[in-house]
A and B are shown apart, each in its own frame.
Chain A
Amino acid sequence: MLILAFHVSISFHALFPLLECAHSHTWINLCYNDETISLLQQLVIYETSASELDIIRDISRTFPSHVFFQQRHGPGQRSLYNVLKAYSVYDRDVGYVQGMGFLAGLLLLYMSEEDALWLLVALLKGVVHAPIEGLYQVGLPLVQQYLFQFDCLMKEHMPKLGEHFTQEMINPSMYASQWFITVFLYSFPFHLALRIWDVFLYEGVKIVFKVGLALIKFCHDDLVKLPFEKFIHALRNFPEGAMDPDTLLPMANSIKVSRRLEELKQENLKSGRVILGYGNAVGTQTGKQDERENSKKQRETKEAGRKRLDFGFAILTRLNDLMESKGGKKKSSSSKSLLYEAPLGYSIEDLRPAGGIKKFRSAAYSNVSLKLIDLLFHWLLFVLPVS
């Protein structure tokens, strides 16, 4: 039943758009729900961030043609600054990285600064899905991993085109970095990005791979004939037909990637592949120094990955704890014991900036069934014409 419901809801997501008014509520609920904790201002006003100037420089360069962010020092730009600064204080290791503004900007179109901040935290720290902070950490380890996975998937799904890519020395860092770093917000039509985000918040980064593959599949017959330069151009300027969510999302949804993604992730970690030097394919010269650097970076990446895992466990455990202590939704005992037995690398206190956060928002949806029930409820509420 649960599996059936899962598939129904995923397909539903892909096939039908959420009503405009439903985005805010559904998105927040997909990531967490709890009483509001007003800490954003504290982070913005009382803390300083090394990234402040970087953030200010990019504020007017984030969704520059969107009416909400257009006005210089207007409400949109101010909110964007607040959320980005608060995040850079909250997570000083990541700080601010170009691209994050597009995520924060999208969220701000549908919710308050406070909600946008915590949703960003939930997303990057992986409260529900796998963490994606690696997209922005030093060395961009997750970007490198995703690009490797995408390259392999693309070649497996479309071998003929894959061969063409190899011949022309085209690698995904030339066109797909932005897809992952901004989850399609950088250059895709807004209505399409929004539909992708509905699925992204529900099922995680998988949808980025699926949409990416669907896009290339859609243009396959044209792409396979194109030389390098025209190819790159085509991958930046997809035809209108490919930008129709009702065409693209069902197509993306039909592509299965989960199992291979996991296998490729393991392969990437195990093989000693040059993760951070993945873009090496761009050039032809490699040297011993590079190899040394790369293996060092890879060790660091592995270490970071292990820490993330510990961190994920710690958050989930703590969240369960919070939910139970305040008489929240009950967790199944099996998952609880699994989580409690996991070694804790971090505690929730580690998340708090100095003197800052009193309490972390809990994620009521660390359990898939709860998430589904609520989601289906919202579908009924928003999709059916109820007054």
Chain B
Amino acid sequence: MGHRVDHEYDYLFKIVLIGDSGVGKSNILSMFTRNEFCLESKSTIGVEFATRTLQVDGKTVKAQIWDTAGQERYRAITSAYYRGAVGALLVYDITKRQTFDNVQRWLRELRDHADSNIVIMMAGNKSDLKHLRAVQEEDGHALAEKEGLSFLETSALEGTNIEKAFQTILTEIYHIISKKALAAQEAAATSTVPGQGTTINVADASGNTSKGCCST
């Protein structure tokens, strides 16, 4: 997928959207990629896919986003999509405490199936529903800090922080990759063999070339 490097972008980053069913993942995706919010949206069956190209630190980055079904039973299909993902947007619903409590389970899911260097951003969605709030923003911040995640409250309905959430995650990925590319160059210069760790680092593969793909 996406091995072909064309001139439309400098980097291709694969991102997965995860979180409990009904937290608004599909609408976050449609808002980000098509600027649309659908009040009559269907529950996602399996996986959906969309892309958007944007500028990150002067580079053209294409975000290839996989939106996954949230129901636990579907993890048999969706967990395969974590592989090769360099970023994950973990979404919960600020009006449903349970979806926040389940964040830990989703993190475990990522630890089990995704690359260990995956950049994770947690998003407390539906921030427009202030009167129904069941998870305080501070709780979100506290958990994010404890787990070392980025965090934002978002509203797909109002478009609040959607752009920022993706921009943040893509920038972070880009910085990691740039650092690794630099490290790899230095290592090559001193004739050291890079990548001796047992973990296959997705970022390494693309970091060695100026144009690359991080989606596999």
- Interface pair A186/B45, CB less than 8 Å apart: yes
Residue picked from A170, A174, A181, A281, most chain B C-beta under 10 Å = A174
Please, how many angstroms separate the alpha-carbon atoms of A57 and B3 in the complex?
39
B88 to chain A, nearest CB (A): 14
- Interface pair A178/B80, CB less than 8 Å apart: no
Query: Taking CB as reference atom, which chain A residue is nearest B39?
Result: A64
- Interface pair B42/A186, CB less than 8 Å apart: yes
Please, how many angstroms separate the alpha-carbon atoms of A227 and B1 in the complex?
9
- Interface pair A54/B46, CB less than 8 Å apart: no
Q: Which of A98, A144, A174 contacts B69 (CB 8 A)?
A: A98
- Residues in A whose Cβ lies below 8 Å from that of B21: 54, 57-58, 98
Give residues 29-66 of B contacting A (CB, 8 Å).
40-47, 49, 51, 64
Give residues 139-168 of A contacting B (CB, 8 Å).
139-140, 143-144, 168
Answer yes or no: B130 CB below 8 A from chain A CBs: no
A193 to chain B, nearest CB (A): 14
Q: How large is the interface on A (under 10, 10 to 19, 20 to 34, 35 or more residues)?
A: 35 or more
Please, how many angstroms separate the alpha-carbon atoms of A291 and B7 in the complex?
38
- Residues in A whose Cβ lies below 8 Å from that of B195: none
- Residues in A whose Cβ lies below 8 Å from that of B80: 173, 277-283
Q: A64-B41, A177-B45, A181-B46 are in contact. Are A143 and B1 (CB under 8 A)?
A: no
Query: Taking CB as reference atom, which chain A residue is nearest B81?
Result: A282
Answer yes or no: A284 CB below 8 A from chain B CBs: yes
Please, how many angstroms separate the alpha-carbon atoms of A306 and B79 in the complex?
26
Interface segment, one of B70-78, B155-163, B164-172 = B70-78
B115 to chain A, nearest CB (A): 8
Q: Which of A139, A279, A285 contacts B200 (CB 8 A)?
A: A285
Q: Which of A144, A182, A277 contacts B45 (CB 8 A)?
A: A182
Answer yes or no: B87 CB below 8 A from chain A CBs: no
Q: A54-B21, A283-B80, A284-B216 are in contact. Are A138 and B43 (CB under 8 A)?
A: no
B211 to chain A, nearest CB (A): 16
- Interface pair B77/A140, CB less than 8 Å apart: yes
Answer yes or no: A99 CB below 8 A from chain B CBs: yes
- Interface pair B74/A140, CB less than 8 Å apart: yes
Please, how many angstroms separate the alpha-carbon atoms of A99 and B44 in the complex?
9
- Residues in A whose Cβ lies below 8 Å from that of B46: 173, 177-178, 181
Please, how many angstroms separate the alpha-carbon atoms of A168 and B77 in the complex?
19
- Interface pair A138/B73, CB less than 8 Å apart: yes
Q: How large is the interface on B (under 10, 10 to 19, 20 to 34, 35 or more residues)?
A: 20 to 34
- Interface pair A178/B45, CB less than 8 Å apart: yes
Answer yes or no: A136 CB below 8 A from chain B CBs: yes
- Residues in B whose Cβ lies below 8 Å from that of A143: 76-77
B78 to chain A, nearest CB (A): 8
- Residues in B whose Cβ lies below 8 Å from that of A280: 80, 83
Answer yes or no: B212 CB below 8 A from chain A CBs: no
Q: A97-B71, A284-B84, A285-B200 are in contact. Are A173 and B47 (CB under 8 A)?
A: yes
Answer yes or no: A276 CB below 8 A from chain B CBs: yes
Q: Which of B40, B41, B81, B83 contacts A285 (CB 8 A)?
A: B83
- Interface pair B76/A140, CB less than 8 Å apart: yes
- Interface pair A279/B45, CB less than 8 Å apart: no
Please, how many angstroms separate the alpha-carbon atoms of A178 and B3 in the complex?
26
- Interface pair A62/B43, CB less than 8 Å apart: yes
- Residues in A whose Cβ lies below 8 Å from that of B44: 98
A292 to chain B, nearest CB (A): 13
Please, how many angstroms separate the alpha-carbon atoms of A278 and B76 in the complex?
9
Query: Taking CB as reference atom, which chain A residue is nearest B198?
Result: A287
- Residues in A whose Cβ lies below 8 Å from that of B84: 282-285
Please, how many angstroms separate the alpha-carbon atoms of A62 and B83 in the complex?
30
30 contacts between A and B (CB under 8 A): A57-B21, A58-B21, A58-B22, A61-B42, A61-B43, A97-B71, A98-B45, A140-B73, A169-B3, A169-B216, A170-B1, A173-B46, A173-B47, A173-B80, A174-B49, A177-B45, A177-B77, A178-B45, A181-B45, A229-B2, A229-B51, A277-B80, A279-B77, A279-B81, A281-B80, A282-B81, A282-B83, A282-B84, A283-B83, A284-B216
Q: A143-B76, A228-B2 are in contact. List 19 more A-B contacts (CB 8 A).
A: A54-B21, A58-B22, A97-B71, A98-B45, A99-B45, A169-B1, A170-B1, A173-B77, A181-B45, A186-B45, A227-B4, A228-B4, A279-B79, A279-B80, A279-B81, A282-B81, A283-B216, A284-B84, A285-B115
B residues with CB within 8 A of A = 1-4, 21-22, 40-47, 49, 51, 64, 69, 71, 73-74, 76-77, 79-84, 115, 200, 216
A residues with CB within 8 A of B = 54, 57-58, 61-65, 97-99, 101, 136, 138-140, 143-144, 168-170, 173-174, 177-178, 181-182, 186, 227-229, 232, 276-285
Closest 7 CB pairs of A and B: A283-B83, A279-B80, A177-B46, A64-B40, A169-B1, A61-B43, A140-B76
